[in-house]
Structure formats: C-alpha cells, structure tokens
C-alpha cells in the first residue's frame, strides 16, 4: 500500500529523514513511535505532498508521489497535529467542504457524514460551530473528515494529544473499526508508548532513521528492554545507536 525508498528530507544542514525505507501492507495499524524531533511530522508532510523530499521515492497504491501526486493523494486521509477545521463554520459545513473537494456526490456525502458522526457520538454537534466543541470532539470531526473519501491510507499525526482517556479510547476504537471494516492502512504517529503497544506493528523512528520495526514484543526485544517504554527510552537517548 505504502512504499518508501531512500527518503531524505533536510532542513539546511539538519537531516530530518535519513534515507528512510519502509513498506506498509494493506490492513495494518502501524504506530510510528519517536521522541520529539525524530522526524514524524516531517515524514507526514512529505507523504501528504506539503514538502518535496530531497531524495527517494514514495508510492501509495503503486502511484508515485513525485509523478502522479494528484492520483496518489486521493488515496490518503490525514489528521494533522494542529487542528485544521474552520472554527466559525458548523461541523456539517466543514465536512461538506471536504467532501466537495473530493467530488463526492451530495447524497453520498450526507450519508457518510451522518454515519461517521453517529459512530463517534457527535451527531448532535452537526449544526454547531466547531468553536463550541471540546478538543476531543474537534478531533473526532477531523477523523470523520479524514475518512469521508474512504482513503486506503490514513495518516494520523499525534491525534490524541490533549485528549482525555475516554476520547482517546473512542478515537482508537474508531480507527480499529475502520481497519477491520475496510482493510485500511493506518500510520499513527505518537510518542505515547501505551498507544504503540496496542498497534499491529511498531516503527521506532529516531533522528530520521528506523531503529526497530515489528510487533510491540519484537521491538521491545530488538531494543533490549523488558518493557517497550523502557526499551524505547533507552534506545532513543543513547547517542551511539543508529539504524538497525
């Protein structure tokens, strides 16, 4: 579904992504675990076409981001770290706007908006301006929006930051349900080890390179700790550690 080969992104002299290779198959929920500054947001910005890479290739469903960006981006849904809804528009208008951008027929959009909001328990907020919603419910609107065009690949950049445990659990459950129902592929950036522990696969990113890749148990073992949290902290704070 997603193939990344030799991806490099530099900011001046700083290398944020350092020849990154990665393949994600269909139907996997993958946690991208990395400390502050690891390169998670940079990777998302490249994958969503906001920044061009300095080197390397990315394909989404075999479509190249370099030469077939418009088609490739149609398969991607994204929730960025910073909230990106229009605060003055209603939830419905925000969602409708996104559906229009993707050329969804109005009837299909209305059905998906109603269904998505009901699944996340925000159907009662459809007519309210986003400004009036709690942070957790705004996030849920962003998730409904990201799924409206039924993307094959869903990118979520630390979507649970600032959410209470119930909202976090609801969001995770909604993602799980989407993976199970549609076989979508999810790349979920986080620095919360407990979230990564629940994923099918964990990637540990540090200084723009992958330190480990596998099930939570595999990654814990590969990084040499008894628990994932301990292994992660150790691996990402020892200066001599480089890619596996």
Ligand X SMILES: Nc1ncnc2c1ncn2[C@@H]1O[C@H](COP(=O)(O)OP(=O)(O)OP(=O)(O)O)[C@@H](O)[C@H]1O
Note whether 38 binds ligand X by CB under 6 A. Answer: yes
| Cβ atoms of 232 and 222 closer than 8 Å | no
Q: Is residue 37 involved in binding ligand X (CB under 6 A)? A: yes
Please answer whether residues 196 and 211 qualify as being in contact, where contact means their C-beta atoms are separated by less than 8 angstroms: no
**Identity of the residue, 41 or 96, whose beta carbon is nearer to ligand X in the bound complex:** 41
Q: Which of 20, 42, 117, 146 binds ligand X (CB under 6 A)?
A: 42
Provide the sign of the torsion angle of the four alpha carbons 158, 159, 163, 168, taken in this order.
negative
- Residue 58 contacts ligand X per CB under 6 A: no
Kindly state whether residue 32 participates in binding ligand X, applying the rule CB under 6 A: no
Minimal distance in Å, beta carbon 195 to ligand X? 13
- Nearest partner of 62 among 148, 146, 153, 149, judged by Cα: 153
Binding segment (CB under 6 A) for ligand X, from list 32-40, 95-103, 114-122, 128-136: 32-40
Stretch that binds ligand X, among 10-18, 64-72, 98-106, 216-224 (CB under 6 A): 10-18
159 binding ligand X? (CB under 6 A): no
Contact map string, positions 182 to 221, toward ligand X, x by CB under 6 A? ---------x------------------------------
Stretch of 29-37, 82-90, 171-179, 221-229 lying at the interface with ligand X (CB under 6 A): 29-37
Distances (CA, A) of 174 to 25, 49, 117, 223, 244: 20, 26, 11, 30, 33
- Given the structure tokens 């039924």, which residue do they identify? 150
Is residue 160 involved in binding ligand X (CB under 6 A)?
no
**Is 150 among the residues that bind ligand X (CB under 6 A)?**
no
Residue 53 in the binding site for ligand X (CB under 6 A) = no
**By CB under 6 A, residue 233 contacts ligand X:** no
Nearest to 243 by CA among 7, 2, 55: 7
Asked if 52 interacts with ligand X (CB under 6 A), we say no
Stretch that binds ligand X, among 23-31, 36-44, 86-94, 173-181 (CB under 6 A): 36-44
**For binding to ligand X (CB under 6 A), which residues are involved?**
11, 14, 16, 34, 36-42, 191
């Amino acid at each position: 579904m997603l193939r990344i080969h030799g991806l490099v992104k530099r900011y001046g002299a700083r290398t944020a992504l350092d020849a990154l290779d990665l393949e994600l198959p269909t139907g996997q929920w993958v946690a991208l675990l990395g400390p502050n500054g690891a390169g998670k947001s940079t990777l998302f910005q490249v994958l969503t076409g906001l920044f061009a890479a300095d080197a390397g290739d990315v394909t989404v469903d075999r479509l190249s981001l370099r030469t077939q960006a418009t088609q490739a981006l149609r398969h991607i849904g994204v929730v960025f770290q910073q909230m990106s809804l229009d605060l003055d528009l209603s939830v419905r208008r925000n969602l409708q706007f996104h559906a229009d951008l993707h050329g969804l027929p109005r009837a299909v959009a209305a059905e998906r908006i109603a269904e998505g909001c009901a699944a996340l328990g925000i159907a009662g907020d459809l007519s309210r301006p986003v400004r009036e919603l709690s942070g957790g419910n705004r996030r849920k609107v962003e998730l409904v929006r990201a799924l409206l065009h039924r993307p094959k690949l869903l990118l979520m950049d630390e979507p649970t930051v600032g959410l209470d445990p119930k909202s976090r659990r609801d969001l995770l459950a909604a993602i799980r349900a989407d993976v199970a129902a549609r076989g979508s592929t999810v790349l979920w950036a986080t620095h919360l080890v407990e979230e990564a522990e629940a994923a099918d696969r964990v990637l540990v990113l540090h200084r723009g390179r992958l330190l480990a890749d596998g099930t939570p148990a595999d990654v814990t073992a590969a990084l040499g700790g008894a628990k994932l949290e301990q292994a992660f902290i150790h691996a990402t704070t020892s200066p001599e550690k480089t890619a596996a």
